[in-house]
Structure 1
Amino acid sequence: MFWPPATPRPLPAVKVWDVVLLIVLFLAVGLVLGALQAPLAEAFGKELSQNGLVPILLLQSGSLILLVFLLIVVRRRVSWSDLGFRPADRAWYRIALAGGLLCVPLVALSRLLLEPLIGDDFQNPQLEVLGTGGFDWANLITLLVLVGLLVPFTEELLFRGLLYPLLRRRLSVVVAALLSAVCFALLHWIPPLVPAFTLMGVILAMAREYSGSLWPPLIIHSLFNCVNLITLYTALAMGQAG
């Protein structure tokens, strides 16, 4: 096989309603924080908080990790290792690094193929928000920590740590990967990019399935976000210099 086999392990014993509740609460917290963006920006300072973006990411991600701890780890007695935070075969870390870099052109290509349908003037609103303040080293480093590490951690915990294993207990690898990927894509709230994010979600789910760990998909996801963020800020720096 191209990839090293994972050691067979039981899937975490989470319930359907646990995952549904977590997704609903995650969305609800995001909506509430989105409505409070202006007050948060004023409270933390518009420049320091990236116009409220930094506290929103911190609070939403922190709330999900806390909810998983209370509802899954404590209430269901499921360990973090059971959720997937356990070592993988060393070869998987090399595969994950290559996969993270490969996902950048793959996702870009899938968006390019859809350009006739979505229009060539479409701009990713996430990138627009992340680049609002222009180039600044402090902003870049802060976002690399949040968008490059914390956000992928929480999303992998929710989608590949909880949702995918739940589906996998009942469905085949392909169907479970596709369904979890579609949910992952839809929850980004950018309809034109649903196919691109679905492709990304399938890759992440496959890495979770065949590595037996959340670390490889987390590395892929984190590297993908970091590369895109650095590319954005490089473009902003060149624009300011020009």
Structure 2
Amino acid sequence: MDNKTYRKAHKRNKKSQDRDIKETMNKEDNRIPPRRPVWNVWQGLFLLLIIYGIEFFFGWLRTPKDLDQLEGFFRFLTVGMGEALLYLVIILCFFKLIHRPLRELGLVRPHGRFVVLGLMMGVFLLVVVGMIGNFLANKLGTPAPQSFTLVLMGAQYDWQLILLIILGGLIAPIKEEVFFRGIFYPPFRQEYGRGKGILFTAGLFALLHFDVLRFIPLLVGGVVLTWLYEKTGSLWPSIIAHGTWNTLMALMVWIQR
């Protein structure tokens, strides 16, 4: 083989290698959760600071009162809906500014079997997290009821239950999964790897509920929900699991009140 022929063959091989590398990188870039997110954890925390600032301005961070009355019920519902809308608007504006598609939040259509897995994991969370919570309550004492539980126990009509399930079983899971799993998990994963990324995301999820006695149960729940996102490549199974978990807990409180 003369030098000219060798150079041509080498050039073809180089182009082929470059094409293979580019295809591999494109496949990697298209994977969900994104392997190379263009945003970072600090930007996510800055978004959270903006959200808390707006909530403080509107008085949404104050402890709700009269949750067993209709006035308190409607105030709780309004704040819950407004908070969810605020989170989603801030996130959408952020993604618009960084010119990224919403699919990088994990909002892609899941395979049918992963929808079933989401439902199953919701039941799993109810049982396992409930057992952990009961064990810790026996050791450390029963924590004070959460606001959602109080408003649910004070509800007197079926339509109140339906509205609370819509809030707790649908709207809140979408808000929390998009924010914690969608925003925080990809940069945690990129920086620390899959295992630590799942743990750090779950830890932040538990920490920002501001409930010391429920930290460990929430941490376990966060680990399962983040793992589910990693496993399925879609945020919807995590949303379904979270919503199933919340809905079943709400129904149990309603029945036992």
Category of TM-score, reference length = shorter chain: 0.7 to 0.9
Once the two structures are superposed, the pairs formed by residues 222-233 of structure 1 within 5 Å of their partners are 222-233=243-254
Name the CA distance, whole Å, in 2 between partners of 1:24 and 1:103: 29
Q: Which residue of 1 is the match for residue 178 of structure 2?
A: 157
Output the amino acid matched with 1:115.
A
Q: CA RMSD in A?
A: 2.1
Q: Which residue of 2 is the match for residue 63 of structure 1?
A: 86
The answer to whether the 8 A contact 1:49-1:55 is kept is no
Which structure shows the higher helix fraction? 2
Q: Which residue of 2 is the match for residue 213 of structure 1?
A: 234
Q: Which residue of 1 is the match for residue 13 of structure 2?
A: none
Q: Which residue of 2 is the match for residue 35 of structure 1?
A: 62
Q: Which residue of 2 is the match for residue 130 of structure 1?
A: 151
What TM-score, normalized to structure 1? 0.84
Output the amino acid matched with 1:20.
L
1:96 counterpart = 2:118: yes
In structure 2, the CA distance between the partners of 1:195 and 1:29, relative to structure 1 (3 Å rule), is: farther
Identical pairs, percent = 21
Once the two structures are superposed, the pairs formed by residues 49-198 of structure 1 within 5 Å of their partners are 50=73, 52-72=75-95, 74-119=96-141, 121-198=142-219
Q: Which residue of 1 is the match for residue 70 of structure 2?
A: 47
The answer to whether the 8 A contact 1:135-1:233 is kept is no
Output the amino acid matched with 1:21.
F
Deviation at 1:30, TM superposition (A): 4.2
Deviation at 1:20, TM superposition (A): 1.0
Q: Which segments of 5 or more consecutive residues in structure 2 lack a partner in the other structure? A: 1-29
Name the CA distance, whole Å, in 2 between partners of 1:28 and 1:189: 17
Name the CA distance, whole Å, in 2 between partners of 1:168 and 1:201: 15
Whichever of the two has the greater Rg, that structure is: 2
Name the CA distance, whole Å, in 1 between partners of 2:39 and 2:53: 21
1:20 counterpart = 2:52: no
Aligned pairs, how many?
A: 222
Deviation at 1:37, TM superposition (A): 5.0
SS at match of 2:93: helix
Once structures 1 and 2 are overlaid, which stretch shifts more, 191-200 or 88-97? 88-97
Name the CA distance, whole Å, in 1 between partners of 2:81 and 2:160: 14
Q: Which segments of 5 or more consecutive residues in structure 1 lack a partner in the other structure? A: 1-6, 237-242
SS at match of 1:122: coil
Deviation at 1:26, TM superposition (A): 3.1
Name the CA distance, whole Å, in 2 between partners of 1:49 and 1:114: 30
What TM-score, normalized to structure 2? 0.79
Q: Deviations over 1:147-203 (max 9, x none)?
A: 111111000011000101110111121111111111101111211010000000000
Q: Deviations over 1:86-127 (max 9, x none)?
A: 0122211111111101110101111122234321x4343245
Q: Which residue of 1 is the match for residue 8 of structure 2?
A: none
